Amino acid sequence: MKELDLRAVPVNERSPDKIINAWKELNQGEALRLINDHDPKPLRYMFQIEFKDSFAWEYKQQGPEVWIVEIKKIKAAAPLSDEQKAKREELKQILKKLHEAKPEELNAVKKEAQKYFREVEPKELAMAEQELIQEGTTRTEMKRLCDVHLEVMKGNLGVKAKKLRLPASHPITICKDEHKIIKRNLRRLKALAEKLKQAGSFEKAKKHLDILKELSHFFLETEKHHAREEKAIFPRLKAHGVIEPPLIFEEDHVEFMARKKVLNELALAENKGDYREFLGKISPVIEFLTTNLTDHIYKEDNILYPMAYETLDKDEWKEVRKKFDAIGYCCFAPADLKKKKRS
Ligand SMILES: [Fe+2]
Ligand SMILES: [Fe+2]
C-alpha cells in the first residue's frame, strides 16, 4: 500500500495537492495510507467535493498523537456531467422552494415537487440534501424540510424501494423486518393512548396500564436496532462520503431514546395521583413517538436503506452483518438470530 507520512514534512509544505495527486495515481481498489499528527478532516471535505462516490475514507488510528487514515479508490473518479449537475441544481432549488414556501403556497409547491420526486433516486436526493447543508442550510432546517418532502414523496419512492429483494440474512432485511414489528407496536401504542383517554381514572385504566408497561419495555428494547444502524451501517456510509443523512438519523435516535425513557418512567411509576396530570404527561410523548418514529422508519425503508444498498459493496455488507451479530439483536428478533445471540 502506498504510504505518505506527513509528520516528517514541514507544515508549510504539506499541500493537499501532493496527497490528492498521489491518490489519483492509484488503481481502482488500491488505497493510500496517510499518517499525520492531526486529524486531516479538511482533506476529507476536499475529497468529498472533488471525488464524491469514488473514495472510501477509513480511520485506522484517531489520535491523540498520530492519525492514520486509509483513502481507498473505490472506482475511477467520474465527475458529474453537465446534465447531472443541472439535475442536482434543479433538485436543490425545489427542495429550497419547499422549505421557503409560505403556508398559502405550500400546496402548489408540493404538487410541483411531486413531479420531480417521481424520477429521483434516493441517493441523488441525499446528495442534494448534503450539498444544501454544505452550502449553509442547518441540519435542523434540513430536518424540517425532510418532513415536508417526506410527505410529498410518500407513495412515490415506495415503488422503487419494493424492488429491493434481498435474502433474509441481509442486514437490510433484518432491519426492515424489525421495522415491521416496531410499526405494529407503534399502532398498538397509538390505540392505547385513545383508550387511556377514555378510561378517565387509574382504576378504570388498569388493564391499559399493564399493556403500557409491556409496550414501553418493548420500545426500550429497540435500542439495539438503532445501535446496529449507528455502529454498523452509518460509519460505512460516512466513509463513502454520505455524511449528512446518517447524522440526521442519529439525531432522531437521541430524541427517541429520551422519549422512550420518559414513557418507561411514566409506565412504571406508582400511578395514584391526578389522572389528568398523568394523561397530560404521557399523551404528548406517545404522540411524538407514534408520529416521528413512524416517519423515521419510512425514511429508512425508502431512502436510507436503498441508498446504503447502492453505496456499500458486497464485502462491506458481510462486515456489516458480522458487526450486527457482535452488537446483538432485540428480544423480538427472528428466531435464528436469537439462537445466534445465545451461542
Ligand atoms: Fe433509525
Ligand atoms: Fe431503523
Give every residue of the chain whose pLDDT is below 50, as ranges: 155, 157-161, 341-343
User: Of 33, 51, 73, which residue is a domain's last?
Assistant: 73
Ligand 1 is an ion; its neighbours by CB within 5 Å are: 229
pLDDT for the residue numbered 45: 66
DSSP 186: H
CA of 229 to the centre of ligand 1 (A): 6
What is the domain count for the chain? 3
pLDDT in tens, 59-70: 999 888 899 999
38 DSSP assignment: S
Determine the Cα–Cα distance for residues 252 and 22; give it in Å rounded to an integer.
39
Same domain, 51 and 86: no
Domain identity same for 110 and 131: yes
Nearest ligand to the CA atom of 234 = 1
Identify whether residues 63 and 121 lie together within a single domain. no
Q: Are residues 324 and 182 in the same domain?
A: yes
Q: What is the largest CA-CA distance in the chain?
A: 76
Å from CA of 288 to ligand 2 middle? 16
pLDDT at 89: 87
Say if residues 178 and 333 touch (Cβ distance below 8 Å).
yes
Q: Domain containing 289 — which CATH number? A: 1.20.120.520
> Which ligand has the minimum distance to the alpha carbon of residue 256?
1
Domain identity same for 323 and 189: yes
175 C-alpha to ligand 2 centroid (Å) = 6
Last residue of a domain, one of 140, 161, 182: 161
Looking at the structure, do residues 229 and 262 belong to the same domain, yes or no?
A: yes
**pLDDT on residue 307:** 81
| 68 shares its domain with 195 | no
CA of 181 to the centre of ligand 1 (A): 14
The reported pTM is: 0.65
Domain boundary residue, one of 28, 46, 73: 73
**Are residues 171 and 210 both part of a single domain?**
yes
Say which ligand is closest to the CA of 182: 2
Ligand 2 being an ion, which residues bring their Cβ within 5 A of it? 300
- My answer on whether 322 and 174 are in the same domain is yes
Ligand 1 midpoint to CA 8 (Å) = 43
Domain that holds residue 101: 82-161
